[in-house]
């Protein structure tokens, strides 16, 4: 069920403290941690504490928490003193989503190309 922790979800296990992560920020509704396979000098994932399989499902069910994810993404960029940065939500396997728990990638610290991948 959306919103409820999933036993097989890597990010739910990070939220619950069962899997270690380098956490950089926490709020009542979100957790932000360093990506284990960074694609830029700063690469942090911002996730809602509640489980939603994709950003689209999070936005539809909990628009205020979706906004919290964006606010925290900006706070991560501020803390890492990024003048410019990219926020990416991959939605669906065809877009590169590999963990089906909504999450924003905050990437910066190097030039970014367009279009991406």
Place of tokens 């284990």: 36
Active site residue 101: no
Of the residues 18, 43, 51, 103, only one is catalytic, namely 103
Sheet holding 30-34, edge to edge: 23-26, 30-34, 42-48, 104-108, 85-88
Helices (H), 16-62: 55-61
- In angstroms, the CA 18 to CA 38 distance is 22
What are the catalytic residues?
103
């Amino acid at each position: 069920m959306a919103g409820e922790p999933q036993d097989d979800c890597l990010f739910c296990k990070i939220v619950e403290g069962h899997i270690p992560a380098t956490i950089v920020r926490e709020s009542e509704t979100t957790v932000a941690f360093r990506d284990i396979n960074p694609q830029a000098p700063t690469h942090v994932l911002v996730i809602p504490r509640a489980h939603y399989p994709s950003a689209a499902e999070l936005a539809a069910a909990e628009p205020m928490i979706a906004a919290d994810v964006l606010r925290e993404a900006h706070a991560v960029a501020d803390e890492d003193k990024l003048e410019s940065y990219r926020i990416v939500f991959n939605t669906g396997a065809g877009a590169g989503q590999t963990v089906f728990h909504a999450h924003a990638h905050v990437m910066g610290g190097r030039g970014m190309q367009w279009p991406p991948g």
